[in-house]
Amino acid sequence: MRELEVSKRIRSFDEVALGYNEEEAIAEAERCLQCKNPKCVEGCPVGINIPEFIRHIRNREYEEAIKTIKLANNLPAICGRVCPQENQCEGRCVLGIKGDPINIGGLERFVADLELSRGFEVPEKAPDTGRSVAVIGSGPAGLTAAGDLAKMGHNVVVFEALHEPGGVLTYGIPEFRLPKRIVKAEVGYIEKLGVKIKTDVVVGKTLTIEDLFQEGFDSVFIGTGAGLPAFLNVPGENLCGIYSANEFLIRVNLMKAYKFPYESDTPIKVGSENVVIGGGNVAMDSARCALRLSQKNVTVLYRRTEKEMPARRDEVRRAREEGVNFRFLTQPVGFLGDDRGQVRKVECIRMRLGEPDRSGRPRPIPIEGSNFYVDADAVIVAIGQRPNPMIPKTTPKIKVDERRGTIIVNPETLETSFKGVFAGGDIVTGAATVISAMGAGKKAARSIHKSLIK
């Protein structure tokens, strides 16, 4: 797929991957073998009929292609862009055994973008059931559950704590990977299905779950995600210039701090030596935002090696092309500041890899006495997020895994210990992917539907 030139893209927040034109999309679709037992579908967490939509593209039946996708997925323009397809549909594609798998994500995006440019057709909905469902959180899990429940004929209201819907799609993933106009358009589609979205409502504070039942909701879905940032808990971490990735990305993506002071009132500060700690997608997003904001040095510190990085390969490659530096086997142990309380250096220790840990990856072990310093005047800590504790804290009836902070659900129905309250996405699994949250949203919608119509 064509990409924006490096020299251009590092000076803007414009989307990097440009997408297929019609000719390219058809050429790619024609490579598909149309398997009888398609493995790609098994790899898709929401089970899109992939060979069928690709066949429609081949035949230039784009309306049919999008209809096929939307039977399973309400947010294809988003998924086509941000799914880690290499571990999902494309990872199973038989063409991938010997050569390149079909670029399924690229094709999904192609038809979804085509639909966005033409305007949506609202699919037929089931007749009104007279039942209503409150969805808490408007991230991928909540939007998917809401869309599906609306199609099933229920009245759905989504409550969102921030001033814009979308969750991580809005505040987390940067414009250059997922343009916000795409998120707005797909959220608009969910609204067209009849879903009402109420922003600025913090469930647990503005309203409790009990209040929602009192207001007449028959069922509640919790999709509040994993929005609690993890810190390293090392000395100096509260120096000025040290951000959690969440803060950094919220300022950049949601508050548009990269337009400060011209079109945004929210400031942000980067430096000439910017350091990002972590090896996931959030770390890559932070590093590439820092690069675009500062036009200066950005270094990623990761405690394992490149092979173990959880970030998507394509995004690591793009970060590298854009000039982000990487230091592997490096673990921060503290931060040093100047007399004004501004961070100046990261104290690090070298690591070596040991036996596999619970995650199956080799455990990083510090090498005694190998401490060294890395210059830094801005630091972004991107070492993971924990489930958002707001609702479990204010709703004791909901059972939680104390160690992980996740909500415990019945794995078959996704119902919590609070009858009529379901949960899915990162709040149940811990930080995972957009598409697995959507899969959970779909599953919850099905069991909520079952519980409401019986």
Partner 1 sequence: VEAPLIAKKAEAGQFVIVRVDERGERIPLTLVDWDKDRGVITLVYQAVGLTTRKLSEKKEGEHILDVVGPLGNPGAAEKFGTVAVIGGGVGVAAAYPRAKQLRQKGNYVISIIGARSSNLLIFEDEMRSVSDELYISTDDGTKGRKGFVSDVLRDLLQEGRKIDYVFAVGPTVMMRAVAKVTKEYQVKTDVSLNPIMVDGTGMCGACRVRVGGETKFTCVDGPEFDGHQVDFEELLTRLNTYREEEAMALERYVKGGGGED
Enumerate binding residues for partner 1 (CB under 8 A).
161-163, 199-202, 205-207, 227-229, 231, 233, 237-241, 243-244, 246-247, 250-251, 255-256, 260-267, 269, 340-341, 388-390
Return the structure tokens found at 70: 């939307």
Largest CA distance in the chain: 69
Return the structure tokens found at 407: 């909500």
Q: Which of 228/365 has CB closer to partner 1?
A: 228
CB of 206 to partner 1, least distance (A): 5
Q: Which of 261/411 has CB closer to partner 1?
A: 261
Return the structure tokens found at 226: 């994993």
Q: Which of 35/202 has CB closer to partner 1?
A: 202
Burial of 23 (0-12, 13-18, 19+ CB in 10 A): exposed
CB of 96 to partner 1, least distance (A): 37
Q: How many helices (H) and strands (E) does the chain have?
A: 19, 18
CB of 440 to partner 1, least distance (A): 20
**Residue 379 φ then ψ, to 5°:** -130, 135
CB of 69 to partner 1, least distance (A): 31
Q: Which of 28/377 has CB closer to partner 1?
A: 377
CB of 248 to partner 1, least distance (A): 8
CB of 427 to partner 1, least distance (A): 13
Strands 330-337 and 343-356: antiparallel
Q: Which of 115/377 has CB closer to partner 1?
A: 377
Give the 3-state secondary structure of residue 321: helix
Return the structure tokens found at 293: 């904001």
Q: Which of 206/272 has CB closer to partner 1?
A: 206
CA 346 to CA 349: how far, in whole Å?
A: 10
For the beta carbon of residue 362, count every other beta carbon within 10 angstroms: 17
* Selection from 171, 202, 186 nearest residue 109 by Cα: 186
